[in-house]
């Protein structure tokens, strides 16, 4: 029999809510990755993914912040049942409440590809910090690791331009 995993997206989302976990990987093959993610009330970074992403809002509403090459920021609101395509390397920040969840499908990372997580000063929009990870297994939750590294370092959270210290969540 061929591997053909089936997932009940609402049940997976409800399980994440019940257990308090943030991510459940549905599958990882040599070429594809699919997972359900629950919102993080403190999400503030911009993810630069080396592959394209497709995000489907299963439950709730998301404000997808994204940055243009010139540094401008904009927001696309994604309502329940809507889907968005995000091209590789577009800095994006999916912000939605912890009782909402979405399906993410993307290409599994090739050897040596780097995921980048960038923070900007909430006061002056100056660059604060970047975390980088080679993500070979998404079940290790690289987003949580990036956040732990960032919020555990006052130096990383301090703007070199205006001196503002981004508070811990």
Best CA proximity match to 141, nearest among 104, 92, 91, 97: 104
pLDDT, position 1: 47
- Evaluate whether residue 35 is within a structural domain: yes
Backbone angles phi, psi at 13, to 5 degrees: -60, -45
The answer to whether 75 touches 84, Cβ cutoff 8 Å, is: no
139: CATH = 2.60.120.10
Enter the DSSP assignment of 97.
-
**What percent of the chain clears pLDDT 70, i.e. is strictly above it?**
99
- Evaluate whether residue 48 is within a structural domain: yes
pLDDT tens for each residue of 21-45: 999 999 998 899 999 999 988 889 9
- Evaluate whether residue 95 is within a structural domain: yes
Number of domains in the chain: 1
pLDDT, position 143: 79
The answer to whether 137 touches 28, Cβ cutoff 8 Å, is: yes
- Evaluate whether residue 4 is within a structural domain: no
Q: What pairing do the DSSP bridges indicate for beta strands 23-28 and 32-38?
A: antiparallel
pTM for this prediction: 0.90
Q: Which positions ≥6 away from 119 have C-beta within 8 Å?
A: 44, 45, 46, 127, 128, 129, 130, 150, 156, 157, 166
DSSP element (H, E) containing 144: helix 142-151
Answer whether residue 165 shows pLDDT above 70: yes
Best CA proximity match to 13, nearest among 102, 139, 138, 146: 102
- Evaluate whether residue 164 is within a structural domain: no
Tell me which residue range forms the domain holding 62.
9-157
pLDDT tens for each residue of 63-115: 999 999 999 999 999 999 999 999 999 999 999 999 999 999 999 889 889 99
- Evaluate whether residue 151 is within a structural domain: yes
- Evaluate whether residue 165 is within a structural domain: no
pLDDT, position 88: 96
Chain centroid, CA 100 distance in Å: 14
- Evaluate whether residue 167 is within a structural domain: no
Q: What is the four-CA torsion angle of 111, 113, 117, 118, rounded to 10 degrees?
A: 160
């Amino acid at each position: 029999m061929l591997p053909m995993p089936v997932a009940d997206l609402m049940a997976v989302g409800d399980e994440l809510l019940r257990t308090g976990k943030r991510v459940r990987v549905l599958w990882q093959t040599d070429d594809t990755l699919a997972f359900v993610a629950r919102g993080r009330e403190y999400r503030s970074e911009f993810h630069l993914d080396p592959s394209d992403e497709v995000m489907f809002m299963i439950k709730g509403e998301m404000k997808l912040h994204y940055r243009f090459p010139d540094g401008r920021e904009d927001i696309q609101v994604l309502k329940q049942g809507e889907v968005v395509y995000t091209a590789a390397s577009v800095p994006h920040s999916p912000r939605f409440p912890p009782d909402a969840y979405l399906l993410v499908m993307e290409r599994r990372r090739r050897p040596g590809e780097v995921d980048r997580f960038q923070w900007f000063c909430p006061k002056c929009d100056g660059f604060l910090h970047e975390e980088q990870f080679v993500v070979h297994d998404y079940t290790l939750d690289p987003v949580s690791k990036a956040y732990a590294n960032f919020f555990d370092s006052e130096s990383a959270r301090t703007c070199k331009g205006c001196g503002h210290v981004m508070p811990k969540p």
